[in-house]
Structure 1
Amino acid sequence: MLLGAGSCEKILAEYTIIPGLPNDLACLCLACVPLPLHGLLKSVSKAWRATFYSQFLFDLRQKWGKLEEFLCLFRDDPSLTPGEIFDPQTGAWRLIPPMPCDPYRYGLTNFVSVAVGSYLYIIGGSLFDARSFPMDRPVASQAVYRYDLVRCHWERRSSMINARGSFACGVYNKNTILVAGGGSRHAQFSAGGSRISSAERYDIEKDRWIFEEEMPSARSGCVGFVVDDDFWVMGGYGISKTVSGVLPVDEYYRGGEIFGASSGKWRELRPMWEEGERWRLGRVAVMESKNGEPPSIFMLESFQICRYDIASNRWKKESCLPRKVIAEPACGLIALYGELYVIPGFSLSESGGVRIPRWGFSPSDSRGVRKPRRTRTSLIIQVYNPKKHKWRHVLTKPPLINPLSFPFAAMCSIRL
């Protein structure tokens, strides 16, 4: 047998996938089909539909190096607004149905979306609870939801031990999720809320959260990622200070903490820049490397792309965006297919208002009032190739017309 004991006959014994071919060989043929075509080919026969819905096919794609990378984007509260999946190869979009809704809770933001295998996790966040008092105070969430991209359904998983929003998160060894820090601050508030130092690890197979040693300092708004055996927690803010004893202002960290996943101990990451060089950590994206090399870590700051040098603990300028936008905090940064995608959103103007793209206007009605056109707006994505040191632009039209604002939005990459 071509695929051994785990062959397709064991999973789809009652079907003949392709007449004249053994089922394991037929599965290998279908595993080579690009993922965007799966929806069309499911209607060929019951056998093909069962094959494309099987986890075995996705395991086969991983084994033979046929995985494709996609962007998963959540513009707002996932229980109210559908998520979106973007294929950078074809420019096609696909919607993710909203996750289960709690009628008492609303306005979820500062949550984390992370992909593990063929599953997409929505973890924690800050929200408002109609049962709490006062109702205008945000509370942190412990909830964890998982979306199965193979079978296309949501399910509730075990809740975190501590509720947290705006926290660091990373995937370790493809079967463990690590989280640290966070608090209850909502994206609509400039300061305030709680900060915590606790850390937890989630065993995906056992669906269980376990306490880890706390970070030396409480921080929220931090960035997390895993490099080899280490869970890095960068930036964020600690206890807020006040200006003139009235206006609360966040005090941002210039360093971080590193957690050894095997040792279970934290060690300090020294300040990454001197006082006055930068105000805060920008958008961070981690690009996986091949041939056993460490991953490349990039940051979007103002109009620049910076690369992190682990040896010197410094950020070095890599390139400048060719199209000027207010890059932080209005843009998102993510790595796909060895390139960096800078995704623009709405930005805050100096006057504090919201600067939005021009939709254009429809003809005036009988009262002479012109209404905005409810049409999909084009999204211009700037793409940078670190190896070639070249930029290109991608013009696409997302399926939703909801505002894309990155203090509220969350995104991650997934390989399927």
Structure 2
Amino acid sequence: MSGLIEGLPDAVAIRCLARVPFFLHPKLELVSRSWQAAIHSPELFKARQEVGSSEDLLCVCAFDPENLWQLYDPLRDLWITLPVIPSKIRHLSHFGAVSTAGKLFVIGGGSDAVDPLTGDQDGSFATNEVWSYDPVVRQWAPRTSMLVPRVMFACCVLNGKIVVAGGFTSCRKSISQAEMYDPEKDVWIQMPDLHCTHNSACSGVVIGGKVHVLHKGLSTVQVLDNGGPPGWTVQESGWRQGPMAVVGGALYVMSHGFIIKQDKGERKIVGSASTRRIGFGMIGVGDDLYVIGGVIGPDRWNWDIKPLANVDILTPGSDRTTWRQASPMSRCRGTILGCTLLRI
């Protein structure tokens, strides 16, 4: 990376390039070979942190097209398409999706492509494979596999490490095993098991520096406090069932068409669904709540199913809790299979 910008030391030049938004990086590569090397260097992304130009991009994967992810830039209202995950599993779904250490991770899952003759999920009900997308080199790479294959499990990031727990394994039985992944060392470590399991999918959410694992149909949550005693504790939650997201440290649940804020045991309706749909993704981005994709129908009057690419945004803490629309997904549409934030 010599002579990046004439008349400037490379240490200064790399900080100039670090201020350029991520969506323009492919164009910067075309300037020269030295710029191309700089754009694909870890030093550039370290400099982005130092100069305060890191960006939070929304990562989304939907049912259609299969195994394709897109990034959304909320500041510029535009979508960026990533390469297809090079997994051999068709229509990978029911996986865990998180980001940490500047990378997007897609963990476990199984095939949503059902054999019409046997009813099998393309020979893969559950996998332990792990993929990471590195925005520095803009490529997917396999990482060390989980200790246990699983689908429909809780997956969260706690203090930079990935925690997975529960779900179903290859034998199609619910499991209580939990494990933790260190992205720097690329290793999985066994953790204490959940206290109980349940014959339903589970999900995870981090609130107040603690992982909360919820099973569909149960009123209790199992909590992991990394700063407290090892293992999980069982607590009554009183949380409504439905898609969940955290905005400003508070939990929001979509239940029966209403957005409910659940804070310190209190419930408050802050809005209603912008449209009637199922299979959507919901996530907090800054001070906003994003509802993404999904499908409309069928109902008693119309048996057609319409896949959506819509992105609706609500600012729950504002005086006017009205929805506004962002640009729809440019490639993905339909049921949202994975949704997370990536800081780069």
Q: Same fold (TM over 0.5)?
A: yes
Q: Distance in 2 between matches of 1:143 and 1:124?
A: 5
Provide the residue aligned with 1:95 in structure 2.
81
Percentage identity across aligned positions? 29
Q: Distance in 2 between matches of 1:108 and 1:393?
A: 31
Q: For residues 259-295 of structure 1, give each alpha carbon's deviation from its aligned partner in whole angstroms, at most 9, with x where no partner exists.
A: 122432211120415xxxx5xx2111123x4xxxxx2
Conservation of the 8 A alpha-carbon contact between 1:345 and 1:405: yes
| Cα pair distance change 1:331/1:302, threshold 3 Å | farther
Conservation of the 8 A alpha-carbon contact between 1:256 and 1:270: yes
Residue among 113, 117, 134 paired with 2:101: 117
Conservation of the 8 A alpha-carbon contact between 1:115 and 1:121: yes
**Larger Rg: 1 or 2?**
1
Residue among 233, 250, 261 paired with 1:267: 233
Provide the residue aligned with 2:324 in structure 1.
393
Mark the runs of 5 or more structure 1 residues left unpaired by the alignment: 1-11, 186-191, 238-251, 290-294, 358-376
Structure 1 residue 229 displacement after superposition: 4.2
Provide the residue aligned with 1:325 in structure 2.
276
Residue among 203, 209, 225 paired with 1:223: 203
**After the TM superposition, which residues 168-187 of structure 1 pair with which residues of structure 2 at under 5 Å, given as runs?**
168-174=154-160, 176-184=161-169
Structure 1 residue 38 displacement after superposition: 1.7
Q: Distance in 2 between matches of 1:156 and 1:308?
A: 38
Structure 1 residue 387 displacement after superposition: 2.9
| Cα pair distance change 1:265/1:306, threshold 3 Å | same
Q: Distance in 2 between matches of 1:345 and 1:121?
A: 22
Conservation of the 8 A alpha-carbon contact between 2:166 and 2:178: yes
Q: For residues 158-211 of structure 1, give each alpha carbon's deviation from its aligned partner in whole angstroms, at most 9, with x where no partner exists.
A: 11111111111111222x1101111159xxxxxx94211111011112211111
Code of the residue aligned with 1:54 in structure 2: it is S
Structure 1 residue 16 displacement after superposition: 1.1
Structure 1 residue 134 displacement after superposition: 6.1
Q: Residue 336 in 1 paired to residue 267 in 2?
A: no
**After the TM superposition, which residues 129-208 of structure 1 pair with which residues of structure 2 at under 5 Å, given as runs?**
136=120, 139-174=125-160, 176-184=161-169, 193-208=172-187
Q: Secondary structure at the match of 2:47?
A: helix
Q: Secondary structure at the match of 1:404?
A: strand
Higher strand share: 2
Q: Residue 412 in 1 paired to residue 343 in 2?
A: no
Q: Distance in 1 between matches of 2:113 and 2:324?
A: 41
- Give the count of matched residue pairs: 337
Q: Secondary structure at the match of 1:27?
A: helix
Provide the residue aligned with 2:246 in structure 1.
286
| Cα pair distance change 1:265/1:45, threshold 3 Å | same
Q: Residue 300 in 1 paired to residue 258 in 2?
A: no
Structure 1 residue 228 displacement after superposition: 4.7
> 4+ runs of 1 displaced by more than 3 Å?
350-354
TM-score w.r.t. the length of structure 1 is 0.74
Code of the residue aligned with 1:254 in structure 2: it is S
Q: Distance in 1 between matches of 2:233 and 2:3?
A: 56
Q: Secondary structure at the match of 1:299?
A: strand
Q: Distance in 2 between matches of 1:128 and 1:346?
A: 16
Structure 1 residue 348 displacement after superposition: 4.1
TM-score w.r.t. the length of structure 2 is 0.88
The CA RMSD over aligned residues, in Å, is 2.8
